[in-house]
Amino acid sequence: MITVTINEKDIELEKPVTILEAARQGGITIPTLCYFEGLEKFGGCRLCLVEVEKLPKLQTACTVMVTDGMVVRTETDTIVKARRAMLEFLLINHPLDCPYCDKAGECDLQDLVALYGPDSGRFAEGKRQHPESFDDPIIVRNMERCVNCKRCVRMCEGVQGDSAITVTGRGSHSFIEPFSGGRYDCEYCGNCLTVCPVGAIMSRLHRHSYRPWFVEKEIESLCGFCGVGCSMVLQMRENTILRTIPRMDLGINKGLLCAKGRFGYDLVESSKRLTAPLVRKNGKLVPVSWDEALGTVAEKLGDIKGMNGGGLIAGIASARCTNEANYVFQRFFRETLLSNNIDSIARSFYIPAQNYLEGIFGQGVTANLISGIGNSDAVVIAGGDPTKINPVLGLQIRAAARKGARVISLSDSEGLKRFGSSQLISSAGSENILYGAVVRMLMEGSDVPGKNKALDEALQKLDAPKDKDVESRTGVSVADIGKAVDELKSAKNVSIVLGPDVLLRDGMRGLFLMASMIYLTDARVYLLSERPNEQGLADVGCLPDTLAGGRPVELSSFREKYEQEMGYAVPEKAGMGLFEMVEAMEKGSIKAAYVMGDNPVFNMPSSHRVRNAFKALEFLVVQDAFMTETAQMADVVLPAAIWSEKDGTFVNLERRIQRLHKAKNSVGGLEDWKIIVKIAGLMGSKMSFGSAKEIWEEICKASHLYGSLSYEDLESDKALWPYKGEPLRSGEAAVEVPEDHGTAPEVVVYADRSLFHSGSFSRYSAALNSIQSEPYAMMHSDLAGRIGVKDGDKVRITSGNSSLELVSMINDEIRDGSLRVPNVFEGVCVMSLIDYEPDDSSAINVQRTSGLKVEKA
């Protein structure tokens, strides 16, 4: 026990901390400027100076550690004089342009000067001149205001790991600059905006449009872009979001956001939002009243249901919608339309991957805390770059690497290059050989673990590739793999982070080999999730074969119990999955579809085929906030509320249930569940809900998984897996060794999972578009050399009847032979170049590119 005396008050401490932390624990405030919790200590601003008995000079409280018996004073005349002098120094060059500085009112410097500052300066020399930089679309730098606390640089380097900014020059000519000196070439996390204590680094998005005292209310809510589920605060004035800010003590992200979360909020107020329901008349979509639109939907769906029951109708739910909306959606389908044909685009990766892993290891195997990655001593990455797909999860990997963890990348992961000790990147199409080699080497010299009989047997049957095949086909040296495997073997606490490509590209074999790696290293597994509610979608029963709470439709005992408890009937036969729906549309055995919050004709592979399938429908309803490619084909378009306009819950990739709070009224859309309840009502359903909360209560009744957590419970740790109960299933699935269907074509096209966009949803954000506004074809310089293009030249990519012309972007951080095109922008659908085909089981489809031609345009 350490006892220190600060301002005559005794403070007892368990372990040594800095004087500043000790004072804070004792409720004593010491002013700071360069200090920021979580950043590397700096001691540069000298405002936290305190007197320590027996030390001749004033000490910086933020860096000096307490010792037992230390006597500290924080507000003596000497200290106050010193602080005043420090502030006078800071103001030598500070322009004091508070009247038009956006930071006024929440500026640390302003507050400190008000508290201690001199009333006038004594320096007659002029102030330094440095014009404000508007070179960047998002970040304005005003270096005249900068106090050189380096908080932004320490954040960028030490926490975000981007190291995009630095202090250039020296002395009073020190300025914070990105490498270019103008526009940023960075991850645009905007965390430098959070930490800047003055008005030196500011966002352009709300420039001169607010003052802190304009904020009428603050709504704590969630980011709606990816499956991490970062918390943020929306600052509102009337019905407008003034800005979003993170709060350092809030949520799983603890104040860190990524580009999408921080700047993408403006899409809610996009002028492209749909504001009125549309119905197709004489071939054109025309605005009509809600009554007419909903009436049309009810009538048409009723007609088609009347032809042959609900089996003719398909429903596509969305991982961008809340649990509440998705639950009501599936209830409407099952109860009113008598159809189990409910699925979503999460069918491509998240849902089947999780099913497979849960089958082997038991329910909840993927429910691991993201913060746990930071404590791992080895992290394996496969199937996608976590720092792009789930950026804030990616930060945990970087944090682990900084603490000395081995990061082993088995897939392109530019964001980890500077942190990765082993980059084992196979040539495109031969991933399974690389994974197979890793699994074989993990098994060498030891018996199978013996904890899972089915997996043990499968592993013994595994025909792992020989060393010489590994090198010739993957291009990765066996020695490098061996070194990485040795590191993995010696690690005690392994995290394995799986991105979509382990299934989308590598197929069931990829997933099997990953499961083997998890098993052999006793690792925690994380499934990357591109959308905010993929987990919730499955939990509330937006699946063709499973009801809320994971109850199989086709087992009559489960179904009947469900019907009894819930008071509505469920069709007996399992419905169609997403890809079966497309086939059925082609054959005419699906005649109508209801798409909620997604854009399948743009987001599904073989987009031409999918488009034709949708074209063959008799009736298509699309409920969305924007006129997407799918909405353009619809017979009825229903404008929906999005993200900050609705209440509800999302379940993130660690299976944490979190509340989304409504901050504003929609510009014209209704909340998803309200629309569906109205249509159901017109079709004779008794389903009625007054609020999202009431739906949540019904979900808890339907899903035993969720215990009976109330909305209030969700604000606490109770919303963590396994909530209040125990997992329902243990792992007992039979395990096959799937065959390797990997190919090694010359060029493989991928949808680029950019840090700045989130599928076709984010194309409506002006801010994100200002960072990345143009589609591109990203390639390695070797590939560019082979086809004779330079950076910025146009290339034409052709596959079958589809062709795209794009500007080339050369990036040597990605592997040769891969071509990355964002599937974001209107008119540039990379999914038209990618086909899908069934893998081992018909339910799993893998993406393929074949016969691809890339040439200079």
Partner 1 sequence: MSRKVRKEGYPSTRSELLGALHTKQYDEGWLSQDGLKAVSDDLNVPAAAVKGVATFYHMYHNEPMGRNVIQICTNVACMIMGAESLVDLLKKEYGLEPGGTTDDKRFTLVIMECIGACGTAPAMLVNDDFHENLDEKNIIEILNGYK
Interface residue list for partner 1 (CB under 8 A): 157, 163-170, 177-180, 418
Helix/strand/coil (H/E/C) assignment for every residue in 92-145: HHCCCCHHHCCCCCCCHHHHHHHHHCCCCCCCCCCCCCCCCECCCCCEEECCCC
Contacts of residue 744, Cβ cutoff 8 Å, sequence gap at least 6: 427, 428, 429, 430, 473
Q: Tell me how far, at minimum, the Cβ of 603 lies from partner 1, in Å.
A: 35
- 3-class secondary-structure state, position 200: coil
- 3-class secondary-structure state, position 766: helix
DSSP-derived letter for residue 41 is P
CA 343 remoteness from chain centre? 21
Q: Tell me how far, at minimum, the Cβ of 854 lies from partner 1, in Å.
A: 26
20 or 165: CB nearest partner 1: 165
Ordered alpha helix ranges (H), 266-366: 290-308, 323-331, 350-361
Q: Tell me how far, at minimum, the Cβ of 402 lies from partner 1, in Å.
A: 13
CB of 487 closer than 8 Å to CB of 408: yes
Ordered alpha helix ranges (H), 159-228: 191-195
Q: Which whole-number Å values give the CA distances from 131 to 96, 142, 190, 619, in the listed order?
A: 15, 7, 21, 59
751/820 Cα distance (integer angstroms)? 6
Quote the Cα angle for 451-457-458, to 5°: 110
- Show the tokens assigned to 388: 């792009």
27 or 171: CB nearest partner 1: 171
Q: Tell me how far, at minimum, the Cβ of 744 lies from partner 1, in Å.
A: 29
Q: Tell me how far, at minimum, the Cβ of 25 lies from partner 1, in Å.
A: 35
- Element spanning 837, H or E: strand 835-838
Q: Tell me how far, at minimum, the Cβ of 35 lies from partner 1, in Å.
A: 21
153 or 312: CB nearest partner 1: 153
Helix/strand/coil (H/E/C) assignment for every residue in 502-549: HHHCCHHHHHHHHHHHHHHHCCEEEECCCCCCHHHHHHCCCCCCEECC
Q: Tell me how far, at minimum, the Cβ of 158 lies from partner 1, in Å.
A: 12
What residues does 797 pair with on adjacent strands?
Answer: 804, 854
63 or 166: CB nearest partner 1: 166
- 3-class secondary-structure state, position 194: helix
Q: Tell me how far, at minimum, the Cβ of 192 lies from partner 1, in Å.
A: 12
Number of Cα atoms under 13 Å in the Cβ half of residue 505: 26
Q: Tell me how far, at minimum, the Cβ of 146 lies from partner 1, in Å.
A: 14
CB of 385 closer than 8 Å to CB of 820: no
Long-range contacts from 172-178, C-beta under 8 angstroms, 24+ separation: 172/92, 172/93, 172/128, 173/128, 174/146, 174/148, 175/130, 175/143, 175/146, 176/141, 176/143, 176/146, 176/152, 176/200, 176/201, 177/141, 178/136
Q: Tell me how far, at minimum, the Cβ of 334 lies from partner 1, in Å.
A: 54
Contacts of residue 187, Cβ cutoff 8 Å, sequence gap at least 6: 160, 162, 164, 258, 259, 387, 391, 415, 755
Q: Tell me how far, at minimum, the Cβ of 418 lies from partner 1, in Å.
A: 6
162 or 343: CB nearest partner 1: 162
Q: Tell me how far, at minimum, the Cβ of 164 lies from partner 1, in Å.
A: 6
